[in-house]
């Protein structure tokens, strides 16, 4: 099979969203005139189809990838050889689904106030194996943005009746008053469990690691001049259903910092002065894992499960079975479970964020 023995390279896979952004993604792509637009996300190594009411005729979300210089549909590749790509243990439990979705998000504006279902809610009420627990790893902040932030969970929770009234009347000030800003800087990592109301602040460029779904309820209907159609608000199920998936628990800012901020743990020495550290592990969520590798010398890696890697700083040369790849900042790759030993050589240093499926 021609795909075997290759590191899978992941070109940009831009997806239309209901908010504006993406100028940073244009710059990464080398465009001469970077612009914000509704193509504010890059879905990385995705086999998940985007759900955009009104754009059902557009097939977007699933990645086209490079294997030995040739373009392939990633879902078709994995479906044809799931044990090689995902690993035998993963296939025994999840079949040919990677159980993972990774994205670049580049926000020009604050995103809508929204909430995603937990895995348990999605399984019970939506017929989906996955909800949308997610993690944010902050990469950068736009010039001029002096207080980058995210909103995570209610710090001043309303009653169900209050929230319903504020959504019906679109009292955005009352909605925003339920939150305190959680400051973020490049290098920060936060977990946003399913059920937590949240929003990403303006001017933030980040990696999102999540369960593989596009399930969302948005209880703010207009952002940046775009008004959500009704089908894009509550997943076509009405406001009362949307309220049922929201966590109304009070989550103080101190709790968010202590329980939901990913801090480097479980350092694993790789040799040659290099190491790997866990940012989001099974103690925080069973939905996915996030690690970070710091390359300071040549390291040979072999894996039994797949992961998606993103060079977040520096550069490196990768030798996979004699096939040489030169990876720079923001280049992305999929490391198949059956790839075998791969040599990573930093030039002279590299940081790689690794996004792993459930353990």
Tokens of 81: 């050889």
Instruction: Read off the pLDDT of each residue in 239-253 and give the average, rounded to a whole number.
Output: 97
Could you tell me if 247 and 278 lie in one domain? Answer: no
Per-residue confidence band for 336, with pLDDT thresholds at 50, 70 and 90: very high
Q: Would you state the pLDDT for residue 1?
A: 59
Mean pLDDT of 335-355: 97
Q: 């792509």: which residue's tokens?
A: 29
Q: Are 286 and 359 in contact (CB under 8 A)?
A: yes
What sign for the dihedral angle of Cα 150, 193, 23, 102?
Answer: positive
Residue 134 and residue 35 share a domain? yes
Say if residue 12 is in the same domain as residue 94: yes
- Please say which residue of 259, 285, 301 terminates a domain: 259
Q: Are residues 220 and 298 in the same domain?
A: no
Q: Are residues 215 and 299 in the same domain?
A: no
pLDDT at residue 3 tops 70: yes
d(CA 216, CA 131): 9
Question: Percent of the chain scored above 90 by pLDDT?
Answer: 94
Please identify, among 226, 259, 292, the residue that sits at the C-terminal boundary of a domain: 259
The answer, yes or no, to whether residue 315 has pLDDT greater than 90, is: yes
What pLDDT, in 10s, does the model give residues 172-185?
999 999 999 999 99
Q: What is the CATH number of the domain that holds 330?
A: 2.60.120.10
The predicted pLDDT at position 268 comes to 94
Domain-located, residue 36: yes
Residue 74 has pLDDT above 80, yes or no: yes
Beta bridge partners of 113: none
State whether 240 and 320 are in the same domain: no
The pLDDT assigned to 56 comes to 78
In a domain, 3, yes or no: no
Would 2 be classed as within a structural domain?
no
> Which residue(s) pair with 159 in the sheet?
none
Please tell me whether residues 204 and 333 are part of one structural domain.
no
Residues 269 and 251 in one domain: no
203 and 351 both lie in a single domain: no
Are 154 and 278 contained in the same domain?
A: no
Q: What is the mean pLDDT of residues 149-157?
A: 98
Over 90: is that where the pLDDT of 261 sits? Answer: yes
Which residue in this structure is represented by tokens 């970070």?
A: 292
Q: Establish if 282 belongs to a structural domain.
A: yes
Helix (H) or strand (E) holding 327: strand 323-327
- Is residue 1 one of the residues assigned to a domain? no
pLDDT, tens only, 96-113: 999 999 999 999 999 999
pLDDT of 154 above 90: yes
- The total of structural domains in the chain comes to 2
Q: Determine contact, residues 90/306, Cβ cutoff 8 Å.
A: yes
How many CB atoms lie under 10 A from the CB of residue 49? 15
Domain boundary among 196, 227, 259: 259
Q: Which range marks the domain in which residue 25 is found?
A: 8-259
Asked whether residue 114 is domain-assigned, the answer is yes
In a domain, 232, yes or no: yes
**Confidence (pLDDT) at 283:** 96
Is the same domain home to 67 and 119?
Answer: yes
Half-sphere exposure in the Cβ direction for 351 (13 Å, CA): 8
Any domain includes 79 = yes
pLDDT in tens, 190-241: 999 999 999 999 999 999 999 999 999 999 999 999 999 998 999 999 999 9
Q: β-pairing, 222-223 with 226-227?
A: antiparallel
Average pLDDT over all residues of the chain? 96
Residue 54 has what pLDDT? 79
Together in a domain, 251 and 280: no
Whether the CB-CB separation of 205 and 141 falls below 8 Å is answered with: yes
> CA-to-CA distance for 48 and 213, rounded, in angstroms?
7
């Amino acid at each position: 099979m021609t795909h075997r023995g290759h590191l899978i390279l992941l070109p940009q896979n831009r997806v239309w969203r209901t908010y504006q952004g993406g100028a940073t993604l244009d710059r990464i792509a080398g465009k001469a005139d970077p612009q914000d637009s509704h193509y504010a996300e890059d879905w990385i190594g995705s086999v998940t189809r985007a759900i955009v009411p009104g754009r059902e005729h557009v097939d977007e979300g699933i990645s086209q990838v490079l294997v030995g210089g040739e373009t392939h549909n990633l879902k078709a590749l994995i479906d044809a050889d799931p044990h090689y790509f995902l690993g035998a243990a993963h296939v025994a439990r999840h079949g040919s689904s990677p159980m993972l979705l990774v994205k670049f998000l580049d926000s020009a504006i604050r995103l809508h106030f929204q909430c995603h279902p937990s895995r348990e809610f999605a399984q019970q009420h939506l017929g989906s194996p996955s909800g949308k627990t997610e993690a944010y790893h902050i990469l950068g902040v736009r010039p001029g943005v002096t207080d980058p932030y995210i909103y995570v969970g209610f710090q001043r929770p309303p009653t169900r009746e209050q929230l319903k009234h504020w959504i019906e009347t679109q009292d955005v000030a009352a909605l925003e008053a339920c939150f305190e800003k959680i400051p973020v800087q490049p290098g920060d990592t936060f977990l946003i469990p399913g059920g937590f109301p949240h929003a990403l602040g303006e001017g933030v460029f980040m990696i999102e690691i999540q369960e593989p779904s596009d399930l969302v309820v948005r209880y703010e209907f207009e952002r940046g001049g775009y008004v959500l159609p009704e089908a894009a608000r509550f997943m076509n199920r009405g406001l009362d259903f949307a309220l049922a998936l929201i966590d109304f628990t009070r989550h103080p800012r101190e709790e968010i910092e202590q329980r939901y901020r990913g801090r480097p743990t479980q350092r694993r020495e790789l040799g040659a002065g290099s190491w790997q550290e866990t940012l989001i592990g099974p103690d925080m969520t069973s939905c996915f894992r996030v690690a970070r590798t710091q390359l300071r010398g040549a390291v040979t890696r072999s894996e039994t499960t797949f992961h998606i890697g993103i060079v977040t700083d520096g550069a490196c040369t990768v030798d996979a079975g004699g096939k040489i790849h030169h990876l720079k900042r923001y280049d992305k790759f999929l490391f198949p479970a059956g790839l075998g030993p791969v040599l990573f050589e930093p030039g002279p240093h590299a940081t790689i964020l690794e996004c792993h499926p459930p353990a």
